[in-house]
Amino acid sequence: MTNAYENFTASQKDVVAALRQMSTAATAQGLEKDLVELVKIRASQINGCAFCLQFHLKLARQLGVEERKLGLVAAWRDSGAFSAREMAALAYAERLTQLANHHLAPQDRPVAGDVFSAGEIEHLTIAIATINAWNRIAAALHFAPAP
pLDDT digits (tens, 9 = 90+) for 30-73: 899 999 999 999 999 999 999 999 999 999 999 999 999 999 99
> Does residue 21 form part of some domain?
no
Inside any domain, residue 146:
no
**pTM value?**
0.92
Residue 1 pLDDT > 50, yes or no?
Answer: no
Q: Is residue 147 part of a domain?
A: no
Residue 117's contacts (CB-CB under 8 Å, 6 or more residues apart) are: none
Domain harbouring 108, CATH code: 1.20.1290.10
pLDDT digits (tens, 9 = 90+) for 107-147: 666 654 578 888 898 999 999 999 999 999 999 999 999 87
Half-sphere exposure of 15 (CA within 13 A, CB side): 10
Domain count, the chain: 1
Domain enclosing residue 39, as ranges: 31-141
pLDDT of the residue at 2: 57
Question: Is residue 112 a contact partner of residue 124, using CB atoms and an 8 Å limit?
Answer: no
Could you say which DSSP state residue 99 is in? T
| Phi-psi region at 64: left, alpha or beta (left = phi > 0; alpha = psi -120 to 50) | left
